[in-house]
Structure 1
């Protein structure tokens, strides 16, 4: 539209100049041409209705969110008499509330992360609010296999003789924890082993020192049938890491074929929970018998061209692979889309086990669209995988995890490897993989779900058969995402119309569930978002429409001068 108007205006101006060129010469022609240009340009701009940046007023705004401190608000009002109050709720802001303000203060728990964009590049400071007390951190294994245990870990801020009781779906107490009165955070550790597969709602009951129930919060879990995997382990030499991993996998019932290089072309084979076997070169045929390959980088680099070709083909068909990394020759993994950067850390911790340190190689993942997280901490990947067709290739920054067993942290060791193997294992005839940050959504709040699909145009449906819009990633055509706003409290699901078996189950809670944890998380995100920079941000200028009276005035002045021009000449 802009180009069309510009071309028409240019043609009109050229016709005007050609007409005057027959009657007027020299500097007078130049003056009339300039006046004609002003007149034509004013008409064109009146049609296009341009907008211009204008400076914001120097007023201060204070955004009041839940749990703000009234004394803090009064102090700010005494300092800034012209302070503008902006109440914040789940509906967010109105844009006109923000446009007239140059600097913002946020009081209380903070705004939701999905509203951060409204204050992007604005001069904003987060001042906090009343202290959040109660369960501020909670991690538990939301999805696991039968035989594994439900493990609940977290932190309780400033308990006052509080008792926590874990109840099963029938309402029976299965575990409890008595907290002492303290001004410090106390760690929470509760657990239970479900007896059957299915989707269940456990509850965590919080009682005060007098035994009165203060809160009841849901803990949805999905227990699936245990799968026995056929695993091939390839090593250039035996290590403690591989020894302990074999013992763990064998005790868990998996069928293992281990190959360790002795000299060039000679290997030691070990068969565990399966018939004796050997495997030398990799072929498409012999790899069909395995769900997962575990190898070190050196073994991968020593594969022959034919073995590597068979491996790549099997990965495309759904085979899973995990590659050990000790930091040497780590750039070899770039062929699978992984990128790394040198780092200083020697140990890492998992949010599920914050008190346990795990040895790490001195590298960190560089985020790329090619890989997805398996284990992460503070939004940084620790273990990740890259999709290779229908298969997955994973690697980790963790090393020498067997030391966890030696230090009595077998639960952490089991969690790391159970989570990793579950994410990488071969899935037969599966065209779609779902992922979400949490199994729990909140009613009427956005819940984002990601999926990878080999289908050309997957169609997503909710459990009522209604279509859900999917957004395709610009760089990865098999990656999609959607954001939904669930309404009904209870179990809900999303599935793919072309593949009904590919279903993502999640639980919808009310807005009061895990209130203290949500408040603490919101506070932490606001601190990171708005108090992250030492220098103040420059507020964006306000975009406002150009006053049409200026354009009308310019047009009338130009036309008046053109009308008077012959009279001046006479």
Structure 2
């Protein structure tokens, strides 16, 4: 149900048509009329999980080439979402409907008075809650709350949210108002927000060809090392998150996004919210994580570096029925690496002990030759630059002075002292 964005550069000598072809034969294309290096972007809407092979095709007046582009699409992961609001609003209602349509578990708590609440549950068996505690919040992957609601929460509930976030909970804060008078709630909106003159933006959203005019607060999230953007408009960051302990806090500045759904543009609405929801939610803690250190493409017979983080005391890496030797990092605990040589083109599988298999795609020998050459050029340039820097470094070396130097110095000094009175 989500979108993938494929970005790259193509270096051409003549007008070229670049096509992305899915397994059903459906095509998306970009036409380049000028020579030189140029950027391109493709957007893919995933309808089902699995290992999917796309084709990238370049066509000129003289020839055409086709390359295989592998994608791994994850299966749907159900989230347990808690939504807090002072009173029902269109924004929260449409967001709830969107998440419920995707199959996520939703519980909504609306405050009718100081001590009275109304509740709504969709796709969930969790008990309704009247008061937030860190014990209750540990059952949820994401807490969605408007700034106006956050302002009214009690000290104990805010402290519970802080503890739950440090333990892994994701919080998505919808900025329906610019300020929050509750000093205890400031930790959740501590993004060093800057004033902005604009109260609307023209956004191009995934899956939609046209630009959409959406309202926003007169604020902007500044770019900082610890703040990761999720939605941008030019240089302006409209949604971003930061880590808080093992959890995350996300800030979203757009208002009245429900207008997209009311206008019937559910695809644009999904393009806006899917990535924000996914990135803001609790991160699953895995006992084993396998990654490839080398850049795509991979080829049969060539070395491929595998990095592994695992809680296993004595991990064993298997490939094609063989055990691949692992080397443990001397500085980082539970961090291992190995080098293997893929034996065949196509999908290959490795796994660690009894963990979930990790698959990767090996290209045919004739594919991606230009990309491979460019990667080798970049590697050689990096090595040459590092070597130049190494040559420029002056290294001090200490050499032992022979002892007779000191003896001769001593004799000359004593001779001078004996001779000086006689002159």
Under TM normalisation by the shorter chain, which class is it? Answer: 0.5 to 0.7
Closer, same or farther in 2 for the Cα pair 1:304/1:511, shift >3 Å? Answer: farther
The residue aligned with 1:162 is 17
Match of 1:258 in 2: 108
1:420 match: 276
For the 8 Å contact 1:234–1:295, the answer to whether it is kept is yes
Structure 2: distance between partners of 1:294 and 1:284: 15
Residues 568 and 240 (structure 1), Cα distance of their counterparts in 2 relative to 1, 3 Å cut: farther
Q: Which of 227, 240, 255 is the aligned partner of 2:77?
A: 227
Deviation per residue, 1:80-136 (Å, 9 max, x gap): xxxxxxxxxxxxxxxxxxxxxxxxxxxxxxxxxxxxxxxxxxxxxxxxxxxxxxxxx
- SS of the equivalent of 1:248 reads helix
- Residues 431 and 334 (structure 1), Cα distance of their counterparts in 2 relative to 1, 3 Å cut: farther
CA distance in 2, matches of 1:345, 1:437: 44
Distance in 2 between the 1:436 and 1:193 partners? Answer: 24
Structure 1 residues 300 and 343: CA distance shift in structure 2, 3 A: closer
Q: 1:155 to 1:441 in 2, by over 3 A?
A: closer
Asked if 1:296 is matched to 2:146, the reply is: yes
Q: 1:456 to 1:549 in 2, by over 3 A?
A: closer
Contact preservation (8 Å) 1:296, 1:324:
yes
- 2:171 alignment partner, SS class: strand
Classify the secondary structure of the residue corresponding to 2:419.
Answer: helix
Q: Which residue of 1 aligns with 2:222?
A: 364
> For the Cα contact (< 8 Å) 1:220–1:439, is it kept in 2?
no
Q: Show the counterpart of 1:72.
A: none
1:205 counterpart (51, 57, 63) = 57
| TM-score (normalised: structure 1) | 0.51
- Name the CA distance, whole Å, in 1 between partners of 2:74 and 2:293: 19
State the Cα RMSD in Å.
5.6
Report if aligned partners of 2:7, 2:39 keep a CA contact under 8 Å in 1: no
Distance 1:334 1:467, change over 3 A: farther
The alpha carbon displacement at 1:245 in A equals 1.5
Distance (Å, rounded) in 2 between the aligned partners of 1:339 and 1:280: 29
Q: Verify the 8 A CA contact 1:229 1:254 in the aligned structure 2.
A: yes
Secondary structure (helix, strand or coil) at the match of 2:255 reads: coil
Asked if the contact 1:321–1:424 (Cα under 8 Å) also holds between the matched residues in 2, the reply is yes
Deviations 1:382-410 (A, max 9, x none): 53352545xx2330355237278378875
The change in CA–CA distance for 1:540 and 1:177 in structure 2 (over 3 A counts) is: closer
CA contact (8 A) 1:374 1:423 kept: no
Give yes or no for the alignment of 1:342 onto 2:194.
yes
Does the 8 Å CA contact 1:339/1:366 hold for their aligned counterparts?
A: no
Is residue 386 from structure 1 mapped to residue 237 from structure 2 by the alignment?
A: no
Structure 1: gaps (5+ residues):
1-146, 531-538
Alignment counterpart, residue 562 of structure 1, candidates 396, 413, 417: 413
Question: CA 1:376/1:272 → structure 2, altered by over 3 Å: closer, same or farther?
Answer: closer
Quote the Cα distance in structure 2 between the aligned partners of 1:380 and 1:395.
16
Does the C-alpha gap of structure 1 residues 413 and 334 become closer, same or farther in structure 2, counting only changes over 3 Å? same
Match of residue 179, structure 2, among 328, 338, 347: 328
Alignment deviations for residues 399-450 of structure 1 (CA, whole Å, 9 cap, x no partner): 2372783788754542443233334545777446678999846567997979
1:181 corresponding residue in structure 2? 33
Distance verdict in 2 for CA 1:486–1:281, change over 3 Å: same
Secondary structure at the aligned position of 1:214 is classed as strand
The corresponding residue for 2:326 is 467
Q: 1:543: Cα distance to partner?
A: 1.0
Residue 206 to residue 505, structure 1, CA distance change in 2 (3 Å): same
1:267 to 89, 101, 117: 117
The 5 A counterparts of 1:99-110 are none
CA distance in 2, matches of 1:255, 1:277: 12
Aligned to 1:279: 129
SS in 1 for 2:65: strand
TM-superposed CA distance for 1:376, in Å, is: 7.2
Counterparts of 2:43 and 2:184, CA distance in 1: 41
User: In the superposition, relative to structure 1, how do residues 398 and 311 fare at CA in structure 2: closer, same or farther (>3 Å)?
Assistant: closer
Give the Å deviation of 1:257.
1.9
Corresponding position of 1:35: none
Q: Residue 156 of structure 1 contacts residue 186 of structure 1 at CA under 8 Å; is this kept in 2?
A: yes
For 2:210 and 2:374, how far apart are their aligned partners in 1? 23
Match of 2:93?
243
Query: Once the two structures are superposed, what CA deviation does each residue of 1:35-85 show, in whole Å capped at 9, x if it has no partner?
Result: xxxxxxxxxxxxxxxxxxxxxxxxxxxxxxxxxxxxxxxxxxxxxxxxxxx
User: In structure 1, which of residues 379, 396, 399 is the aligned counterpart of residue 254 of structure 2?
Assistant: 399
Instruction: Give CA-to-partner distance per residue, 1:220-256, whole Å, 9 cap, x none.
Output: 2222332333321012344443233123112212232
How do 1:534-553 residues align onto structure 2 when only pairs under 5 Å count? 542-545=393-396
Counterpart in 2 of 1:214? 65
Offset of residue 193 of structure 1: 4.6
CA contact (8 A) 2:142 2:280 kept: yes
Hey, what's the Cα distance between the residues in 2 that align with 1:376 and 1:363? 10
Could you list the runs of 5+ residues in structure 2 that have no partner in the other structure? none
